[in-house]
Amino acid sequence: MDPILEVRDLVKRYKTVNAVNGISFSIPRGICFGLLGPNGAGKTTALEVIEDIIPPTSGEVLYDGAPKSPSFREEVGIQFQHTSLLHFMTVRETLVTFQKLYHKTESIDFLIDICRLRDIQGQMNNKISGGQAQRMLLALALVNKPKLLFLDEPSTGLDPQARRYLWDIILEIREKGKTIVLTTHSMDEAEYLCDDIAIMDHGRIIARGSPAELIRAHCSGGTISLPRANVRMNPAGLPFPYREVNGWLHITVDRVNTGIEKLLAMHVDLNDMKVHSPNLEDVFLRLTGRSLRE
Amino acid sequence: MFKARNYEFFRDKAAFGWNFLFPFLIIAGFGIIFGGGGYSGFKVGVFPAGTESLSRADLKLPLKFADTEHLEFIGFPTLEQGLERLKHHKIDFLVRQGSPTGQYWVLESSPRGYIVERLYQAGLIPEGTFVGEKIAVEGDSIRYIDWLFPGILAMNMMFSALWGVGYIIVRYRKNGVLKRLKATPLTAFEYMTAQALSRIFLLLFTLAIVWAGSDLLFSFRVAGSYLDLFVVFFLGAMSLTSIGLLLAARGTSEEFASGALNFIAWPMMFLSEVWFSLEGAPDWVKTLSQFLPLTHLLQAARKIMNDGATLVDVSGQCLAMLATALACLVLGAVLFSWNE
């Protein structure tokens, strides 16, 4: 099946900064695609160029196999990272106002139900909580029955409960066959929602694949963490790569069972041992040498 | 978009109230000052006098001068107290009552003092002396409040149009509302048209309410047609709103927008004869005022209200307002940016 979106050699250069540095990827239909990277990696800029909000310096974006036409805005839904809305309007009135800007639209009651806005539909749009505001913005992005949905860091600033609530809504939307492109710097969010991930850093894509593929390709095995005091010998003598952080040794092993056996054979005290399976954070760390949250 | 902007206007209670209250307060204030009996043109200090408030019948001054209208007489016990007030322009003229030589004091630099001096000297001319042939003008006179009223309405319209459109759009651009709208199929021209139509509707709505309220108090005269007057105010609202749209076409700084709006609004207020006539002003000032749509709005409105002019009589002013509106709308649409 043809990809719904294809990005070719996209570059966005500001006066002294290359925010997006020649990225290329394509997105199959019906999946949730994630652009994962730390703050300042160029995710939002890349997304806004793709959304046609800011012009590219060079490169090409194909939607449905062709350059974007005026109908692009009729067929995509967009949720920005930071959005202000017209004031003095209720949640429902805000949805109705945006609904009138499109030809093909979703019913307001459907949007209110799917985004769990029934209880707050009569409240002013600036008098609702952060989680409610994000759900309302998601409803706004869905108001035109989009085939392709862009979500820029949809859960930033939300408490864990509100995040999980929003993620469940996003999964429900994906199950209805829509293609979702989201940016995030949260590995949890990417692992929970995304079928396919591109990891971005310094305006470039440094890895691509499903969460499992990325972990398998870049971080097989696991990490055994031990208090430094448990290892009486010089850790340089360990047969595994390791990092020492804040009094703990983080030992990377190809197979956890084999690793534990070797450590026991070397009389290392395994009390207080922690075993950690690799995740996307480890992938990023392995690829860039620094943490996603730095 | 039209409806959404109207919601904002009507639901923002503070701004909504002020839009009606501000022009009404100015009109009421000027009505009281110029319409009541408490106002006099010139203040004449009289000494020696026991009280500040003086009865004209008790004044020991030339009779013709004491009977002159638009003079207010204020008593002082001593010359020193009167002179102190005169030097600070709190009175225009000081006279010693009962003086056989008609002694008086006046500031050489005061134009108002000069006029009262001439009045006083005329009061000293004996009765029966030839003073010219008087021919009284019959018919309804135009009160100052009748002349001022359209000026206040137009000024309110100007501030509301410039800030209600110009400032608001810049604020929306700054906080990302316009960026969100850019992500929809809405075009810049559609957005600007909705803003303009909403503001014109609100300006005319406000105008009608303030007019009705003020008319109840002051019974303004409208010699011409109300329909013609409506057309003139509609064109005025359109041209002023278009200037607001042009100013808001670009930029994200509210401070800069505020400065630019003030830079346009204040000269327009003073050079468009809102408060005073430009008769006698230098030619370049008069020429400059002809480039301001508020001048044309006021000229046309006053001609219709005070002189009974028709739209044909004020077609020049109407065309000038229409041209301003079209030029600003086209330029504004070309320059408009959603996020820069």
For the residues A166-170, what does the mean pLDDT come to?
88
What is the per-residue pLDDT for A196?
93
Q: How far is A173 from chain B (nearest CA, A)?
A: 20
| B186 at interface of A, judged by CB pairs closer than 8 A | yes
Whether residue B42 contacts residue B91, with contact meaning beta carbons closer than 8 Å, is answered with: no
What is the per-residue pLDDT for B148?
80
* CA dist., res. B71 & res. B117, Å (int): 12
For the residues A29-37, what does the mean pLDDT come to?
91
DSSP letter, residue B53: B
Q: How does residue B76 score in pLDDT terms, banded at 50, 70 and 90?
A: very high
Angle (CA) A135 A141 A145, round 5°: 120
What is the per-residue pLDDT for A45?
93
Q: Cβ–Cβ of B176/A102 closer than 8 Å?
A: no
Q: How many CB atoms lie within 10 A of CB A270?
A: 12
Instruction: Give the tens place of pLDDT for each residue, B27-70.
Output: 777 666 655 444 557 899 999 988 888 888 888 888 888 888 88
Q: Which of B79, B253, B221 is nearest to B141 (CA)?
A: B221
| Minimal Cβ distance to A102: which of B7, B184, B339 | B184
Asked if the model's pLDDT at residue B190 lies above 80, the reply is yes
Q: Sign of torsion, CA B143 B144 B147 B148?
A: negative
Instruction: Give the tens place of pLDDT for each residue, A60-69.
Output: 999 998 898 8
Asked if the model's pLDDT at residue B90 lies above 70, the reply is yes
| Minimal Cβ distance to A101: which of B175, B179, B184 | B184
Q: Cβ–Cβ of A53/B339 closer than 8 Å?
A: yes
Q: Please give the single-letter amino acid code of residue B225.
A: S
Q: Cβ–Cβ of A53/B182 closer than 8 Å?
A: yes
Chain B: residue whose CA lies nearest to A71 = B185
Angle (CA) B331 B333 B334, round 5°: 65
Chain A: residue whose CA lies nearest to B340 = A54
Which strand (E) or helix (H) includes residue A26? strand A18-27
| A53 at interface of B, judged by CB pairs closer than 8 A | yes
Chain A: residue whose CA lies nearest to B174 = A84
Q: Cβ–Cβ of B185/A102 closer than 8 Å?
A: yes
Q: Which residue has the higher pLDDT, B340 or B211?
A: B211
For the residues A13-25, what does the mean pLDDT come to?
90
Taking CA atoms, B214 is separated from B21, B181, B297, B306, in Å, by 11, 40, 19, 16
What would the two tokens of residue B115 be?
């006029």
Percent of chain B residues topping a pLDDT of 70: 93
Q: Cβ–Cβ of B185/A74 closer than 8 Å?
A: yes
| B4 at interface of A, judged by CB pairs closer than 8 A | yes
Taking CA atoms, B275 is separated from A272, B26, B41, B145, in Å, by 85, 11, 17, 10
What is the per-residue pLDDT for B305?
87
Q: Sign of torsion, CA A168 A171 A172 A173?
A: positive
What is the per-residue pLDDT for B140?
61
Q: Which of A169-178, B86-95, B134-143 is the least confident region?
A: B134-143
The 3 state secondary structure assigned to A173-193 is HHHCCCEEEEEECCHHHHHHH
What is the per-residue pLDDT for A5?
93
* Cβ burial, residue B322 (10 Å; 0-12/13-18/19+): middle
Q: Which of A127, A122, A66 is nearest to A91 (CA)?
A: A122
Q: How does residue A35 score in pLDDT terms, banded at 50, 70 and 90?
A: very high
What is the per-residue pLDDT for B35?
57
Q: Cβ–Cβ of B4/A53 closer than 8 Å?
A: no
Q: Cβ–Cβ of B186/A101 closer than 8 Å?
A: yes
Torsion angle of C-alpha atoms A25, A28, A31, A37, degrees rounded to 10: 0
Q: Between A and B, how many CB-CB pairs are < 8 A? A: 57
Please tell me the pTM assigned to this model. Answer: 0.73
What would the two tokens of residue A194 be?
């995304």
Q: Cβ–Cβ of A101/B185 closer than 8 Å?
A: yes
Sheet containing A32-36: give its strands across. A76-79, A148-152, A179-184, A32-36, A196-201, A204-209
What is the per-residue pLDDT for B129?
72
Torsion angle of C-alpha atoms A163, A167, A170, A175, degrees rounded to 10: -170
Asked if the model's pLDDT at residue A38 lies above 80, the reply is yes
Asked if the model's pLDDT at residue B115 lies above 80, the reply is yes
Question: Strands A32-36 and A196-201, how do they pair?
Answer: parallel
What is the per-residue pLDDT for B139?
58
Q: Which residue has the higher pLDDT, B197 or B217?
A: B197
What is the per-residue pLDDT for B37?
47
Taking CA atoms, A40 is separated from A9, A45, A178, B121, B217, in Å, by 19, 9, 28, 85, 63
Q: How far is B196 from chain A (nearest CA, A)?
A: 16
Give the rounded distance of the alpha carbon of A10 from its chain centre. 19
Sheet containing A66-67: give its strands across. A18-27, A5-13, A58-63, A66-67
Whether residue B120 contacts residue B65, with contact meaning beta carbons closer than 8 Å, is answered with: yes
Maximum distance among all Cα pairs of chain B, rounded to whole angstroms: 88
For the residues B12-26, what does the mean pLDDT come to?
73
What is the per-residue pLDDT for A78?
92
Whether residue B250 contacts residue B192, with contact meaning beta carbons closer than 8 Å, is answered with: no
Q: Which of A10-14, A77-81, B230-234 is the least confident region?
A: A77-81
Q: Which residue has the higher pLDDT, A127 or A293?
A: A127
Put simply, the chain B residues between 102 and 131 with a CB less than 8 A from any chain A CB are none
| A74 at interface of B, judged by CB pairs closer than 8 A | yes
Three-class secondary structure of residue A119 per DSSP: helix
Q: Which residue has the tokens 């009608």?
A: B208
Asked if the model's pLDDT at residue A98 lies above 90, the reply is yes
Three-class secondary structure of residue A55 per DSSP: coil
Asked if the model's pLDDT at residue B209 lies above 70, the reply is yes
| A162 at interface of B, judged by CB pairs closer than 8 A | no
DSSP letter, residue B133: -
Whether residue A95 contacts residue A143, with contact meaning beta carbons closer than 8 Å, is answered with: yes
Phi, psi for residue B198 in degrees, rounded to 5: -60, -45
What would the two tokens of residue A55 be?
């012009």
Q: Cβ–Cβ of A84/B176 closer than 8 Å?
A: yes
| A97 at interface of B, judged by CB pairs closer than 8 A | yes
| Minimal Cβ distance to A82: which of B176, B183, B185 | B176
Whether residue B145 contacts residue B224, with contact meaning beta carbons closer than 8 Å, is answered with: no
Q: Which of A249, A238, A239, A294 is nearest to A276 (CA)?
A: A249
What would the two tokens of residue A80 be?
């920005």
Give chain A's mean pLDDT. 88
